[in-house]
Amino acid sequence: MNWIVSVKENAKYRMQESVRMIEKSLAQFDDNETWEKPNPQLNSMANLLLHLSGNIRQYIISSLGEMPDTRERDVEFSQAQDQTKLALLEELKTTVKEAITVIENCEEDQLLQKREVQGFELDGLGIIMHVVEHLSYHTGQIAFWVKYRKEKDLGFYEGHNLNSLNP
Q: Beta partners for 58?
A: none
Residue 120 host element (H or E)? strand 120-123
Residue 112 pLDDT level (bands cut at 50, 70, 90): very high
Mean pLDDT value of segment 116-130: 96
CATH code at 3-150: 1.20.120.450
Q: What is the pLDDT of residue 1?
A: 60
Residues 6+ apart with CB under 8 A from 92: 19, 22, 49, 52, 53
Residues 6+ apart with CB under 8 A from 79: 46, 47, 50
Above 70 in pLDDT, residue 37? Answer: yes
pLDDT in tens, 41-100: 899 999 999 999 999 999 999 999 999 999 888 888 887 778 999 999 999 999 999 999
Give residue 106's identity as a one-letter amino acid code: C
Query: What is the model's pTM?
Result: 0.93
User: What is the Cα–Cα distance from 130 to 136, expressed in whole angstroms?
Assistant: 10
Residue 155 pLDDT level (bands cut at 50, 70, 90): very high
Residue 115 host element (H or E)? strand 114-117
Q: What is the pLDDT of residue 72?
A: 86
Q: Please state, for a pLDDT cut of 90, what percent of the chain lies above it.
A: 86
Q: Is 50 exposed, middle or buried (0-12, 13-18, 19+ CB in 10 A)?
A: buried
